[in-house]
């Protein structure tokens, strides 16, 4: 079983290695946001990152095997959020991959993991930026993971099928990330006519047409990976309270 888990993680890491280097998707790029907003979003992330570090330490102390699942969740997010998919509006979009880790470990852990993913993408792939790291972390690693985790828990409380719950969680994490990013951009660049609301509509419309099918695709892929983990890491998922014993 341990070899199967190692093999799964190696496949994900290999996928990272073959991801194209030149990507310019919707992570807010370096230097795009005014300095004041960069500082605001960076400061907003600090409480979540502190919460996340404490949560990681707690979960790792419970079981060292959780490190492997954590690595799988991080690699999955790195691969998907580094992909560049063209938009019919002339820009580009990308999945986030944040839903899987949020389902497995919760939003606190994924706020840290997502921040690390975004940092490496900024340094290695010129995807996003260092000054905008706080804004990108807040939209994807915090807002995205909170929504994914919340939707998953609500679906499970409603006794929905596990695959349906995973799909809806991944879909929500993706869509909320882009809604949050659009809000961030609208706050920083309100329209001269119509202000924040007009600017928000503009930014949402740029990606809305392509982001919905991307979110659907991400939901399906997340189901596939989750089912692999369910098969090879069943005990860890029970221990993490993702599923119940006997499920």
- Spatial separation of the C-alpha atoms in residues 53 and 120, rounded to whole Å: 18
97 in the Ramachandran plot: left (φ > 0), alpha (ψ -120 to 50) or beta? Answer: left
Please report, to the nearest 10 degrees, the dihedral formed by the alpha carbons of residues 139, 140, 145, 148 taken in order: 90
Three-state SS string over the chain comes to: CHHHHHHHHHHHHHHHHCCCCCCCCCCCCCCCCCHHHHHHHHHHHHHHHHHHHHHHHHHHHHCCCHHHHHHHHHHHHHHHHCCCEECCCCCEECCCCHHHHHHHHCHHHHHHHHHHHHHHHHHHCCCCCCCCHHHHHHHHHHHHHHHHHHHHHHHHHCCCCHHHHHHHHHHHHHHHHHHHHHHHHHHHCCECCCHHHHHHHHHHHHHHHHHHHHHHHHHHHHHHHHHHHHHHCHHHHHHCCCCCCCC
Q: Tell me, rounded to whole angstroms, the distance of Cα 22 from its chain centroid.
A: 20
Domains in the chain with CATH codes: 2-8+36-239 (1.10.1760.20)
What string of pLDDT tens digits covers the 247 residues of the chain?
444 554 554 444 444 433 433 333 457 888 889 999 999 999 999 999 999 999 988 887 877 777 778 888 888 888 887 776 655 444 457 788 899 999 999 999 999 999 999 998 888 877 778 999 999 999 999 999 999 999 999 999 998 999 999 999 999 999 999 899 889 999 999 988 889 999 999 888 877 767 888 899 999 999 999 998 888 877 888 888 788 765 5
Q: Are the CB atoms for 226 and 105 separated by under 8 Å?
A: no
């Amino acid at each position: 079983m341990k070899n199967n888990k190692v093999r799964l993680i190696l496949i994900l890491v290999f996928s990272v290695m073959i991801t194209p280097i030149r990507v310019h998707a919707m992570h807010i790029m370096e230097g795009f946001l005014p300095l004041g907003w960069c500082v605001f979003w960076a400061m907003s992330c600090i409480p979540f990152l502190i919460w996340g570090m404490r949560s990681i330490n707690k979960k790792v102390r419970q079981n060292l095997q959780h490190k492997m699942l954590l690595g799988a969740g991080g690699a999955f997010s790195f691969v998907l959020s580094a992909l560049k998919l063209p938009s019919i509006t002339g820009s580009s979009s990308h999945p986030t991959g944040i839903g899987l880790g949020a389902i497995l470990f919760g939003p606190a852990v994924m706020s840290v993991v997502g921040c690390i993913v975004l940092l490496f993408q900024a340094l290695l792939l010129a995807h996003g930026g260092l000054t905008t790291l706080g804004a990108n972390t807040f939209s994807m690693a915090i807002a995205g993971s909170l929504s994914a985790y919340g939707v998953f828990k609500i679906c499970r409380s409603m006794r929905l099928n596990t695959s349906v719950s995973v799909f809806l969680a991944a879909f929500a994490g993706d869509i909320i990330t882009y809604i949050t990013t659009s809000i961030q951009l609208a706050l920083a660049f309100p329209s001269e006519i119509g202000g924040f609301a007009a600017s928000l509509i503009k930014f949402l419309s740029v990606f809305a047409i392509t982001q919905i099918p991307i979110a659907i695709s991400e939901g399906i892929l997340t189901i596939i990976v989750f089912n692999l983990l369910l098969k090879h890491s069943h005990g860890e998922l029970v221990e993490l309270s993702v599923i119940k014993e006997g499920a």
